[in-house]
Amino acid sequence: MKTPLPAALGAGIHTQTWFPNVLVLIKTVNPDAQLKVIAIDEQLRVIYEDNVHFDKDLPEFKTQGGVYIHSDRLTVTSPVLMWVKALDMILEKMKSSGFNFSQIRALSGAGQGCFSVSNSPIWMDSSTASQCRALEKAMGGAQPLATVTGSRAYERFTGNQIAKIYSQNPEVYKQTERISLVSSFAASLFLGTYAPIDYSDGSGMNLLQIWEKAWSKSCLDACAPGLEERLGCPVPSHSVLGPISPYYSQRYGFSPDCKIVAFTGDNPASLAGMRLQEGDIAISLGTSDTLFLWIQEPTPALEGHILCNPVDSQTYMALLCFKNGSLMRERIRDECASGSWDEFSKALSSTAAGNSGNLGFYFDVMEITPEAVGIHRFNRDNQKVSSFPKEVEIRALIEGQFMAKRIHAEKLGYKVLPKTRILATGGASHNKKILQVLSDVFNAPVFTIDTANSACLGSAYRAIHGLVAERNVSLADVVKLAPEPRLAVTPTPGAEELYRPLLKRYAELEQKVIYNPASSCLVK
């Protein structure tokens, strides 16, 4: 047995022949605008957890929510140097706590999908509309592009961001040796050399052929010349990339034998962290809200995304993203509940399910699904109104967010079945009043996992899996010891009958919001 960690951490790290000790870092503009770290032991228990908050701990970068929102309200970036400094800071915190890095056998992580420039575009960016249209035109339309890459062109996807850089700064592009996603960039720091892009995160770029697991030459040529050599060859998400850089061994005491397993996207990592099964729906309630599931035979469409599965390269995952997540909920909390989640929850409890027919659409930033912006409120007669009472506003926000998720999931062909489980994670998964609305709208039980940091935990599981995947060991075998999800809430009797007509109304009103933007109440 190795020397245990300090008692305050609640566990020691032990050596084990088959299960490695794992350190995982998530490097991303994540649900709480933080860099997070989790370490697990051979029993899959979380024995260390910490974070660095970008705004609070690194005030010199002057970010809000870890990002810069530019004056056009479309361009959203984050300083890459801030991420690097946060990594140094969190490792120093671990070192000061007495953490024994020498026992770490494997390391992996996750990050939001983008490539790194001094101010990196992030997932909230909507400034590449012209590049998106050009890519779709080059591929024969939005649907042909989706059929090849899993998604129609999206502003935040890396291929379109690269096309923007090439168009606006061709000399910068010409001098660029390598283009990385945030995930592969973070892996490169630990590896000490360029890390390849993994299949799963790479399939969120509008560049990867998801069926062949190779870059699409047509897509590459449509975005920029010489792109393939700048991206490198993609690899399976369970790949061991090599040993950790000597820098980390010398500075922090990592074993030279510590392996770096390919980093991936935050959403694919969350799929691993929640140990999703076919038939389940997973919802991550964070800065962006995401809905995703495991799928065997995907049918790419104009809505949503099909990605390569991060834990089984022969299958896929389906994903729907909604930009206006926790930041939107926090703004309404601040305006309508004095900044208190307790008051917010009381307001939800004080209003009846269905909100007396009042419906709302809340998009502070340009939404992805659907493409709309602004605040739009409708009374029970479908008449547009300028405001709601505070408690009605709160319920309209939460019901509207969850109705949108069900509507758009069903458009992709998903069915809510009697056996369906909803697995909820992210910051809002701690709020049972919010989860009750989720359960009622979907008419399915909601379960939670032991930690809200599913992407972090999923990266830890993937680090273990990476060491044994070549022996045909599945992730399911690796995580058998992990705790089962906990039942949080069940649907209120009669919820399906109540929400079914409201879902129909919401879908119809959404079309009004999309096609009649002039009638919207825009947020300034």
In the prediction, which pLDDT does 182 show? 87
Same domain, 110 and 229: yes
Helix (H, G, I), strand (E, B) or coil at 260: strand
In the prediction, which pLDDT does 10 show? 20
Burial 71-95 (b: 16+ CB within 10 A, else e): eebbbbbbbbebbbbbbeebbeebe
Spatial distance between the Cα atoms of 459 and 481, rounded to a whole number of angstroms: 16
Residue 305 in any domain: the answer is no
Residue 319 in any domain: the answer is no
Spatial distance between the Cα atoms of 12 and 100, rounded to a whole number of angstroms: 10
Number of domains in the chain: 2
Same domain, 458 and 514: no
Residue 145 in any domain: the answer is yes
Longest dimension (CA), the chain: 69
Same domain, 99 and 11: yes
Same domain, 226 and 119: yes
- Angle, CA 76 vertex, CA 74 and CA 78 arms, to 5°: 170
Structure tokens at 11: 């566990």
What type of residue sits at position 394?
A: I
Residue 486 in any domain: the answer is no
Residue 443 in any domain: the answer is yes
Enumerate the H helices of 258-389 as residue ranges: 266-273, 326-336, 341-350
Same domain, 97 and 18: yes
Q: Are the CB atoms for 48 and 21 separated by under 8 Å? A: no
CATH code at position 370: 3.30.420.40
Q: Are the CB atoms for 36 and 453 separated by under 8 Å? A: yes
Q: Are the CB atoms for 461 and 473 separated by under 8 Å? A: no
Same domain, 427 and 498: yes
Helix (H, G, I), strand (E, B) or coil at 252: helix
Residue 284 in any domain: the answer is no
Half-sphere exposure of 489 (CA within 13 A, CB side): 20
In the prediction, which pLDDT does 17 show? 26
Supply φ then ψ for residue 329, to 5 degrees: -65, -40
Spatial distance between the Cα atoms of 239 and 284, rounded to a whole number of angstroms: 25
Spatial distance between the Cα atoms of 99 and 115, rounded to a whole number of angstroms: 31
Spatial distance between the Cα atoms of 40 and 12, rounded to a whole number of angstroms: 10
Q: List the pLDDT tens digit at each of the 524 positions of the chain.
A: 333 222 222 212 222 223 334 444 433 434 448 889 999 988 898 889 999 999 999 999 888 887 777 777 666 777 888 888 999 999 999 999 999 999 999 999 998 754 445 555 555 566 788 999 999 999 999 999 999 999 999 888 999 989 999 999 899 899 999 999 989 999 999 999 999 999 999 999 999 999 999 999 999 999 999 999 999 999 999 999 999 999 999 999 999 999 999 999 988 998 998 888 777 889 989 888 989 888 887 889 888 899 999 999 888 998 998 999 999 999 999 999 999 999 999 999 999 999 999 999 999 999 988 989 999 999 999 999 999 999 999 999 999 999 999 999 888 878 788 889 999 988 899 999 999 999 999 999 999 986 667 888 999 999 999 999 989 899 989 999 988 899 999 999 999 999 999 999 999 999 999 987 654 444 33
Same domain, 233 and 341: no
Spatial distance between the Cα atoms of 122 and 124, rounded to a whole number of angstroms: 5
Task: Compute, in degrees rounded to 10, the torsion defined by CA atoms 472, 259, 256, 101.
Answer: -120
Same domain, 462 and 428: no
Instruction: Say how many C-beta atoms besides its own lie within 10 A of residue 32's C-beta.
Output: 19
Same domain, 155 and 236: yes
Same domain, 342 and 406: yes
Same domain, 269 and 415: no
Residue numbers of the domain that contains 499: 326-448+493-519
Same domain, 41 and 158: yes
Residue 16 in any domain: the answer is yes
